[in-house]
Amino acid sequence: MPADLATLLAGKFVVFDGPDGCGKSTQLQMLVARLEEQGAKVRRLREPGGTAIGDQIRKLLLSPEHDDMDVHCEMLLYMASRAQLVHEQIQPALSSRECVLSDRFASSTLAYQGGGGGMDLQQILEVAESAVNNHWPHLTLVFDLEIDQAMARLNPLLSDTAGLFQDRIEQRNRDYFQRVRQNYLWQVKQWPERYRIIDASKTVPAVEKQVLKTLTDFFSA
């Protein structure tokens, strides 16, 4: 890792996002470890959750018992969890010039409830504006991967066409996740000033190399 990356990321908010199985969580964990080795103050977050309130909302959202949940309700619950996370974690951390690294953020709601669930994207953005309270990520890394490859990574027993995952969101079909992926790619094109794409089809070390270079290039510009 470049020696100055810890300095470059001080007071910055970076989101790792992408379809389930893309490897973003692994890469985030690796980056946290490297930054902490350099003495950086890092606030690692996960969505939904990250607070006592958010963790309760997470249980509601991901439980298969609630498979009749309306997509509007789903979106609002994600945003409620996010609003608490911003208030309790993100805002204080950035004020202290910590590096904030989050596994998912509003980009996920656009992709899953918008792209996958068919909600109007403008409606989602309007609620997001309130929830994030002007604390948009400085950079969102979208880990892009073909859906069949992502599914194979999550569960080697799945065939290329089976497409069933585990929790309530992950139990949706392949077409849903294909729409999710396409929305992520749309976001990268929509906001090129604060999004970058990572080719997640490579090996873990190769993806890590991309991540480190992308972060260095972006925050050095």
Dist CA 69 CA 123 (whole Å): 18
Q: Given this model, what pLDDT does residue 159 score? A: 42
CB 49: neighbour CB atoms within 10 A?
21
Beta bridge partners of 198: 143
Decide if 62 contacts 110 (C-beta within 8 A): no
**Scanning the structure block, which residue is given the tokens 């959202």?**
61
State which amino acid sits at residue 205: P
Q: In the predicted model, what is the mean pLDDT of residues 160-179? A: 64
Residue 164 predicted with pLDDT over 70: no
Q: Are strands 195-199 and 42-46 parallel, antiparallel or unpaired?
A: unpaired
Q: Given this model, what pLDDT does residue 171 score? A: 63
Residue 170: pLDDT band with limits 50, 70, 90: low
Going by C-alpha positions, the residue among 183, 181, 59 that lies closest to residue 119 is 183
Residue 165: pLDDT band with limits 50, 70, 90: very low
Q: Given this model, what pLDDT does residue 67 score? A: 84
Spell out the domains of the chain, with CATH numbers in brackets: 5-220 (3.40.50.300)
Give me the chain's average pLDDT, please.
Answer: 91
- Degrees, nearest 5: CA angle 212-218-220: 95
**Nearest 5°: phi and psi at 10?**
-60, 125
pLDDT 10s digits, 2-16: 458 999 999 999 999
DSSP string, 76-88: HHHHHHHHHHIII
Dist CA 10 CA 98 (whole Å): 5
Q: Given this model, what pLDDT does residue 161 score? A: 42
Going by C-alpha positions, the residue among 34, 36, 60, 48 that lies closest to residue 102 is 48
Q: In the predicted model, what is the mean pLDDT of residues 164-190? A: 81
